[in-house]
Amino acid sequence: MEIFSRLKELSAQYEKLEQELSCPEVFSDPERYQALYQRQAELRPIVESWREYQKLMKEIEDNQHLLEEDDPELKELAEQELVQLRARKTQLEEKIKELLIPPDPDEEKNAILEIRAGAGGEEAGLFARDLFEMYQKWLSKKGLKLRVASFHPTDLGGFKEIICEVEGKGAYGWLKYESGVHRVQRIPITESGGRIHTSTVTVAVLPEAEEVEVEIDEEKDLRVDVFRAQGPGGQGVNTTDSAVRITHLPTGLVVTCQDERSQHKNKARALKILKSRLLEMEKQKQRAQRDGMRRSQIGSGDRAEKIRTYNFPQNRVTDHRINLTLYKLDKIMEGELDELVKALRAEEKAKKLAEMEEESLARAQL
């Protein structure tokens, strides 16, 4: 009943929007018209499905009345029709429930991708590089743009840390499931005895903060240092002090950006990353207060805190959150992550549906 009430309410909203959009004064106000049109477009799939459902229920009711007739042939036709109509009813109910799931407000935003070596020394740094290259290939296939903001190389060519900006529609929505500890099992190039080692890399994915979401008093809250950018092995990227390090004094957060040759551009990109981190800190604080939990997004990087395992000898990858194992690690490392991520999306949707049904049941019992 709770869902039906919600559908009626949304249907009434949709009809009101139709009326408003036809008013001359709204049409002459482009900003207001666009806002109303966008809201109507968001509601359209739900309202159309709800109208189809109502029509379907009327057909079911009509066929049930036919079962009371004396004509055997007519009753048989009605029974056959009811089987199909009830099957369609079940499908439509599931579709409507999915449409009612509140969308993630950050889904379509750009993202900040942070990859850091965890336990395992040089091998962890090498796997951090491998993960970076995996994401780079995957995101490129999706038409998303990845730009490196800063990185700290290891002696063997891996990364202690690499921070990137990912731009494009739905960037955060695709990447958000990658946050956590990634565990690798393989024979490192540093291992002469052929033994398999276990190392970890932590990945954090943050939605890019918009200007209105995070306010910073640059004069009071920030310390900005500039220095000469360095490339791998100490090679100078350029001969000017273009690299920027920003320290957020109230929290102690530090962001460095050295990829651009312009100090101004590096500062702008560093500020963007800093704001995204501050926004995520605030969201984590709110989640902790709401759930009674206080834990960070990616844990400590310890081997036990894993979301996914990459086992190279067996060509196997296992996502521990959904107990999914695929024997195609070679393809996944080449950027074929869609099967994994789509399975994670489906699991998230199923959980949200279950929560929505529990809430609806709880309200009905009040």
Q: What is the tens place of the pLDDT at every residue in 106-137?
A: 888 999 999 999 999 999 999 999 999 999 99
CB 167 within 8 A of CB 144: yes
The reply to whether 13 and 121 lie within a common domain is no
Mind listing the pLDDT tens digit for each residue in 196-230? 999 999 999 999 887 656 778 888 888 998 887 76
Is the pTM for the entire model greater than 0.85? no
Beta-bridged to residue 164, according to DSSP, are: 113, 148
Q: Give the pLDDT score at 361.
A: 66
Measured in degrees and rounded to the nearest 5, phi and psi for residue 310 equal -110, 105
Residue 296 belongs to domain with CATH number: 3.30.70.1660
Contacts 24+ apart (CB under 8 A), 12-19: 13/39, 13/43, 14/40, 14/43, 14/44, 14/47, 17/43
Residue 234 lies in a domain: yes
- How far, in Å, CA of 104 to CA of 210, rounded? 15
Q: Write the CB contacts of 176 (distance below 8 Å, at least 6 apart in sequence).
A: 104, 106, 111, 205, 207
Residue 89 belongs to domain with CATH number: 1.20.58
Beta-bridged to residue 213, according to DSSP, are: none
Q: Give the pLDDT score at 366.
A: 55
Counting the structural domains of the chain, the total is 2
pLDDT, the chain, mean: 86
The reply to whether 77 and 177 lie within a common domain is no
Start-to-end CA span in the chain (Å): 13
The residue from 66, 100, 134 where one domain ends is 100
The reply to whether 116 and 236 lie within a common domain is yes
Give the other-Cβ count within 10 Å of 147's Cβ: 11
The reply to whether 68 and 169 lie within a common domain is no
Q: What percent of the chain has pLDDT over 90?
A: 48
Domain ranges, residue 263? 111-348
- Please state which of the ranges 28-32, 52-56, 109-113, 335-339 shows the lowest mean pLDDT: 28-32
The reply to whether 36 and 175 lie within a common domain is no
The reply to whether 36 and 153 lie within a common domain is no
Residue type at 151?
Answer: F
Pairing state of beta strands 180-186 and 308-311? parallel
CB 162 within 8 A of CB 128: yes
The reply to whether 184 and 296 lie within a common domain is yes
The reply to whether 130 and 96 lie within a common domain is no
Residue from 166, 140, 170, 139 nearest 272 by CA: 166
